[in-house]
Amino acid sequence: MPAVSKGDGMRGLAVFISDIRNCKSKEAEIKRINKELANIRSKFKGDKALDGYSKKKYVCKLLFIFLLGHDIDFGHMEAVNLLSSNRYTEKQIGYLFISVLVNSNSELIRLINNAIKNDLASRNPTFMGLALHCIANVGSREMAEAFAGEIPKILVAGDTMDSVKQSAALCLLRLYRTSPDLVPMGDWTSRVVHLLNDQHLGVVTAATSLITTLAQKNPEEFKTSVSLAVSRLSRIVTSASTDLQDYTYYFVPAPWLSVKLLRLLQCYPPPEDPAVRGRLTECLETILNKAQEPPKSKKVQHSNAKNAVLFEAISLIIHHDSEPNLLVRACNQLGQFLQHRETNLRYLALESMCTLASSEFSHEAVKTHIETVINALKTERDVSVRQRAVDLLYAMCDRSNAQQIVAEMLNYLETADYSIREEIVLKVAILAEKYAVDYTWYVDTILNLIRIAGDYVSEEVWYRVIQIVINRDDVQGYAAKTVFEVRALQAPACHENLVKVGGYILGEFGNLIAGDPRSSPLIQFNLLHSKFHLCSVPTRALLLSTYIKFVNLFPEIKTTIQDVLRSDSQLKNADVELQQRAVEYLRLSTIASTDILATVLEEMPPFPERESSILAKLKKKKGPGTVTDLEEIKKERSSDMNGSAEPALNATVVTTPSPTEDLLGLGPAPVTNSPPPPPTSDILLVDVFANPAAAVAPLAPGSDDNFASPDLASSEVVSEEPADTVHDADELFHKFVCKNNGVLFENQLLQIGLKSEFRQNLGRMFIFYGNKTSTQFLNFTPTVICSDDLQSSLNLQTKPVDPTVDGGAQVQQVVNIECVSDFMEAPILNIQFRYGGTFQNLSVKLPITLNKFFQPTEMSSQDFFQRWKQLSNPKQEVQNIFKAKHPMDAEITKAKIIGFGSALLEEVDPNPANFVGAGIIHTKTTQIGCLLRLEPNLQAQMYRLTLRTSKEAVSQRLCELLSEQF
C-alpha cells in the first residue's frame, strides 16, 4: 500500500472527532454534528471548487457521522468524484464511503460502475485492489451483472499480480454466493484450477476457497482439482516449518490452506487414480502421525492450528469411509481427546466419533471408549458436551451393549438439563425398541422412562409400547402385572402418561392377572379410578373406555362400574366427550347381552407394523436434509456386523417371533404409489415385504406355496444383457460382499444407495436414487437385468419408481428377492434418464451374491471337525493361498467373516490365530452346509482359505467372494 504523506493527516477531521468525544450530553453532540453538517453542505454547494484533499476530509466527516448513527442524505456525488482521483488516499476514502453508504438502487450506481471499470482496466495493482474490494463489499446483483464476466479474466490472466489475484478470487467468491446464476462457467474454470499450483500461497488459499464453493454446485467442472489439491497438500504436510516460513503459524505450516484443501477434497469421492489415492493416504497418515508428536510450543495457538488440521483430516477420512486402517487410527486419536482438559477438544472428539461410529470399519474401535463416554455423561460441566456424549452413546449402541447404554442414559435422564430431556427420551425409546432381546426388558425400560421423565414422553412413545404389547402374546401378562405394581400405578406420584398406559393395558389384559387376590378385578378398578380426578380430559376419556372393557372382562364388578358411569359427575359432565362416553357406555352395559358385549368389546387386533413413529419424530427434531435416506445409508452398519436384528416377516400374523428377529419391525415400509395387490390365488409371486396391511398369509421358508414362477409381465426384470459398460463392476461387487448397506455408485449427477436385508432364502433390497444436481431427471427408468441362467436361480420382483426425480431429491425402489437355487452371476442394474436434454445410460452390478443367503450355525469343536471330515471329497473342497491386500488386523478379519454370513466359531481351531466359520446356504430347493477355515501368516503377509461344502460350484464361488475381502 502506498505510504500516506504528511498532509494526509486531516487535522480538521481529528479536531471534529475530538469535539464529539468531549461533548457532555447527547444534545451537545447533536448540536455539534448539525453545525458540522451545515458547514459541509455549504462547502459542497459553494462557488469555490474544492480540491481533492478537502473533498476527502469532508467525505470522511460524513462517514464518521453516519457511523455514529445519523442519517446522511448528501455528499454521495463528491464521494463518486473521489474515485477519479489519482491519489491513493482520496480514491480509498471514496471507495470506503460508497461501500458503506451507497445502496444498490442508487442513481449513482452507473457512475460508480464506470469508475470501477476504469480502475480494473488501469492495470495499477493498488487501484485494481480497491475496486475489487468495493465490488465484494457491495456484492449486489447489479455489481454481479456488471463485473461477473470481467473478474474471471483478471483472475486467470498471466500478467496479474499475486495480490490482485487474491482479491479477484475472493471478490468472485462473494459474487457467486450472492448471485450464482450471474457468474458464467466458461474456459476460465479449467484455468482457475491450476491456481492451486501457484507459487504464492496467498493466491492458493483464496483460490481454494473459490474452487470449493464452485465445486459444490458444479462438481464435474472442477474434478481435476482433486489431484492438484492432493499434490499441494502433500507438499505442505511433508514440509518443515522453515520451508514455508511466511505461512507458518506457531510451527504449523500453512494451517488455513491445509484445512481448505481438506474441505475441497470432501466435495468428491475417493480418487480413482491409485497414485493420487496413495498419495492422499500418505498425507492423512502423516497428519495423524504428527498429532502423536510432542508439541513444539506450549502456546495455545500452536495446539489450535495443529488440531484444526487434524480434525479436518479426520472429517475427510470419515467422508471417504474406504480405508479401515485410517478410520481405526482416527478413532484412537479422537479417543485421546475424550479426556483432554480443553472442553472444545472433548466436544469435537465426541462429535466426530458419532460419525465414526456409523462406519462398519471403525464401529468396534469406537465401542472400546464406552466407559470414557459414560464417565463424560456423568462428570462433564458443559451441557453441550454432555449432549454430544448422549449422541455418541446412541450411535455406538448395538445388541451387545444396548442394555448398558440404555441403563446409563436412564440414570442420566434424572439429572439431565431440561433442554435435552425430550431428545434423550426419544433415543432411549428407540434403542430399547430396536435392540430388545426380550419384551419384558423393553416394557420395564419404557415404564421406567415414563416414571423418570413423564413430562417429556411424547404420545408417540406410549403409543408405541401399547402397539408392541398388543402385537405380542408372550408379553401381555407381564405388561399387565408390571403396570399394576408399586413402582407404576400404585406409586403415590404416578405420572399421567403412566395412567394412560396402565389404563389401556389393564383394559385389554387385566384378566391375565385377575387370578391373584392382590390384583383382583375390584382392586384394579379402584386403583385406576383413584387417579381419575387428577387426570386431564383425554386421559379420563381413556379410563372410561377401560371401565367398559372391565364390564366385559369382569362381570362381577359391573354394578360398581355402572354406579360410576351413572353418577352426576359423569352424566352431567361439562365436557361433551366425557358426557357422551358415560351415557353410551352406561346404556351399552345395561341393554347389551353378554355375547354382544363380548363382540363389541373384544381385544384390539394386532396393529400393522410400520416404521417407528418415534424414529420419525427424532428425525424431524434433528432436521433431516433433502436426501436424508441416502446419507443414512452411509451411516448404516451391516446387521451381521453389529448384531442388530433382522426384520420379522409379516409381523401382523407371526405373533411370537424368535428372539433373533427384529422385535419391533423397524425396517421402513416400502414406499409405493399403487396399493398392494389383493391376496388372491391368482398371485404368482407373493410380495413377502409388502405393506402388512395386505393380509398376506405367513410365509414358511422353503414352502412351495410361497413362491411360484414370477409374473414378469408386471415386473421390470428382463433377460437381456446390457449394451453399455458396467461401472467398476469388481470393486463395487467386492465392497458389498460383507455388508448390506452403503453407497453403490456415485458420480457428479447421481448417487445410488442400498439398504438390504436377507432371511434364509428370501431378501429385500431398498435402492435409493439421489439426484445430486439442481435439475430434474426426466424419463428415469431403472431396470434389473438377469441372464437366462440367473433367472432360473433367482426370482426378483421390482416395484416401479416415479419417472421424474426433482433436483436434490431422491426416489426409492424396492426389490424382493428369492433364491431358488445356487447361482454364480449377479443381476445388472441399468439406469436410463434425461438430464438437461442429454440421455444418460449407466449400469452397475447389483450386489446380490450367494453368501447373502447364509444362516450362521454354531458348532462345538468336535462337531465341526466331524463334519469337516465328512466333506473330504476333493470336489467338495476349494483352497486358495493369496497375498494380503489389506492390513492383517484380527478384529477387522473377524468382522468380515461375520459380515460374510457365517458364524465365527471361537476356540475350535487348535491354532488360536486361525479363523473358523460355519453356516448354511438356504435356497428354495435345497440347503447347503458350508465350513470355512482362514489361516493368516503375518510374517509372509499371506492367507490360506479353505472352504468345504456339499457342492463344488458353491465352494468355488464362496472362496472367490471371500478371498477378495482380505
Task: Summarize the annotated binding site as residue ranges.
Answer: 11-12, 43, 53, 57-61
Q: What is the DSSP letter of 913?
A: T
Question: Within 13 A of 462's CA, how many CA atoms are on the CB side?
Answer: 25
Strand, coil or helix: what is 767?
strand
Strand, coil or helix: what is 195?
helix
Could you tell me if 535 and 543 are in contact, meaning their C-beta atoms sit under 8 angstroms apart? yes
Q: Which of 740, 744, 769, 743 is nearest to 757 (CA)?
A: 740
From residue 540, how far is each of 266, 347, 495, 694 by CA, in Å? Answer: 56, 45, 14, 34
Q: Which residues are bridge partners to 927 per DSSP?
A: 922
Q: How far apart are CA 386 and CA 381, in angstroms?
A: 8
Phi and psi dihedrals of 395, rounded to 5? -70, -35
Which residues, 6+ apart, have CB-to-CB distance to 438 below 8 Å?
659
Q: Which of 940, 931, 937 is nearest to 897 (CA)?
A: 931
Range list of H helices, 567-656: 568-571, 576-591, 594-600, 613-622, 628-635, 639-642
Q: How far apart are CA 4 and CA 20, in angstroms?
A: 25
Please, what's the largest Cα pairwise distance for the chain? 115
Q: What is the DSSP letter of 738?
A: T
Q: Which of 112, 145, 105 is nearest to 130 (CA)?
A: 112
Which residues, 6+ apart, have CB-to-CB distance to 568 below 8 Å?
none
Q: How far apart are CA 397 and CA 409, in angstroms?
A: 11
From residue 959, how far is each of 358, 736, 955 by CA, in Å? Answer: 28, 15, 6
Neighbours of 175 (CB within 10 A): 24
Neighbours of 116 (CB within 10 A): 25
Phi and psi dihedrals of 964, rounded to 5? -75, -10
Could you tell me if 591 and 675 are in contact, meaning their C-beta atoms sit under 8 angstroms apart? no
Could you tell me if 131 and 120 are in contact, meaning their C-beta atoms sit under 8 angstroms apart? yes
Strand, coil or helix: what is 917?
strand
Q: How far apart are CA 929 and CA 919, in angstroms?
A: 6
Helix (H), strand (E) counts: the chain:
41, 19
Burial (Cβ within 10 Å: 0-12, 13-18, ≥19) of residue 839: exposed
